[in-house]
């Protein structure tokens, strides 16, 4: 199978490229390396440095290759930044994605896997969140992803482009073999930040609010191992190839862990002291975000392997110790 992985040098994309390589796929990675790393593509794929804004480059790429499937991991992902610089989010996440889809249509490539997010749901009306939950994003990042989901529905009806949108909850962990991990700059995600406080790279972790309506007062999230996410992508490709039906799935473990529980597990796994600073709430953080992934389990046959926080944190810690 010939697969184009856009954003394959990034955190989740690079784990996917490794997994696809192990399944014997022929992989091309397209990445502008604005936040990805060339060495994360490993030996599994051919890396082309290029930007989705470059329509002529896309046209040539699709003219010269026969891709069966396109996977799209490339996007800007910082919620706070999306509020202060929405133009960047609508350009990178919406306009550039449209360039990609239009090149696919022009060259007859009809299967697309899209990295979507829990942020399309906004403030939860109920939890766990299933696919029927109303979509009401509360920031430009969430809006940008929802717009692409809408575009994909319309492109399916009009042009027969089949897509699977996978809404990640909190992607976490690292390659269990230690070759890949999370390398965002700046890092904003909780688990790598706590582990950096454990390794001494940071002095402390700031807990954003301890006055939420949860058992210990800190926010609850659904942390899902990056390899489990990759497996869901693989199953989504198989579904597209088998029955050619578009689909949308929420991906999480269905287990919520509080910020304090994450810090406690990080202390356990690392054996290090971790200094906590009690901070204010971060704007736009819902108290609880947990996925109901029943549909992914029943329709895709997805079965997450790492539903304990300890193995997610252990893999992330191995990466942090050895590579950061």
Does 47 interact with ligand UFG (rule: CB under 6 A)?
no
Does 224 interact with ligand UFG (rule: CB under 6 A)?
no
Does 235 interact with ligand UFG (rule: CB under 6 A)?
no
> Least distance from C-beta 316 to ligand UFG, angstroms?
12
For residues 280 and 259, give the distance between their C-alpha atoms in angstroms, rounded to a whole number.
13
Cα→Cα distances 215→5, 80, 279, Å: 41, 26, 18
DSSP-derived letter for residue 92 is: I
DSSP-derived letter for residue 107 is: T
> Least distance from C-beta 62 to ligand UFG, angstroms?
29
| 20 half-sphere exposure, CB direction, 13 A CA radius | 34
The residue among 176, 165, 74 whose CA lies nearest residue 112 is 165
- Cβ proximity to ligand UFG, 45 vs 304, nearer residue: 304
Does 32 interact with ligand UFG (rule: CB under 6 A)?
no
Contact with ligand UFG (CB under 6 A) among 95, 199, 206, 307: 206
Distance from CA of residue 50 to its chain's centroid?
20
The residue among 223, 282, 209 whose CA lies nearest residue 252 is 223
Taking CB under 6 A as the criterion, which residues in 243-262 touch ligand UFG? 259
For residues 211 and 217, give the distance between their C-alpha atoms in angstroms, rounded to a whole number.
5
- Cβ proximity to ligand UFG, 67 vs 249, nearer residue: 249
Does 119 interact with ligand UFG (rule: CB under 6 A)?
yes
CB contact at 8 A, 21 and 44 = yes
Does 188 interact with ligand UFG (rule: CB under 6 A)?
yes
Taking CB under 6 A as the criterion, which residues in 280-319 touch ligand UFG? 282, 285, 289
Which are the catalytic amino acids? 141
Residues that bind ligand UFG (CB under 6 A): 77, 79, 117-119, 141, 170, 188-190, 193, 205-208, 219, 221, 259, 282, 285, 289
């Amino acid at each position: 199978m010939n697969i184009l992985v856009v954003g394959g040098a990034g955190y989740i994309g690079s784990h996917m490229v490794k997994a696809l390589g192990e399944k014997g796929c022929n992989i091309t990675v397209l990445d502008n390396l604005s936040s990805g790393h060339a060495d994360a593509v490993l030996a599994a794929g051919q890396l082309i440095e290029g930007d989705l804004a470059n329509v002529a480059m896309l046209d040539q790429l699709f003219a010269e290759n026969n891709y069966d499937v396109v996977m799209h991991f490339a996007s800007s992902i910082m919620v706070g930044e999306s509020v202060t610089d929405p133009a960047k989010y609508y350009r990178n996440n919406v306009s550039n994605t449209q360039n990609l889809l239009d090149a696919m249509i022009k060259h007859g490539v009809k299967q697309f896997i899209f990295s979507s997010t829990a942020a399309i749901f906004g403030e939860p009306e109920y939890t766990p969140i299933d696919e029927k939950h109303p979509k009401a994003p509360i920031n430009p990042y969430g809006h940008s992803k929802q717009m692409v989901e809408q575009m994909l529905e319309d492109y399916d009806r009009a042009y027969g482009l089949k897509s699977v949108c996978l809404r990640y909850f909190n992607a976490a962990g690292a390659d269990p073999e230690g070759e890949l991990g999370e390398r965002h700059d700046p890092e904003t995600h909780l688990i790598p930040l706590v582990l950096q406080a454990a390794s001494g790279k940071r002095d402390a972790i700031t807990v954003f609010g301890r006055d939420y309506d949860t058992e210990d007062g800190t926010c609850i999230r659904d942390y899902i191992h990056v390899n489990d996410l990759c497996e869901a992508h693989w199953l989504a490709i198989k579904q597209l190839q088998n029955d050619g039906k578009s689909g949308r799935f929420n991906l999480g473990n269905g287990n919520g862990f509080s910020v304090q529980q994450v810090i406690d597990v990080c202390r356990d796994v690392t054996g290090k002291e971790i200094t906590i600073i009690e901070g204010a709430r971060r704007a736009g953080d819902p108290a609880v975000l947990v996925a109901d992934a029943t549909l992914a389990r029943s329709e895709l046959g997805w079965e997450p392997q790492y539903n304990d926080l300890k193995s997610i944190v252990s893999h992330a810690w191995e990466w942090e110790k050895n590579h950061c």
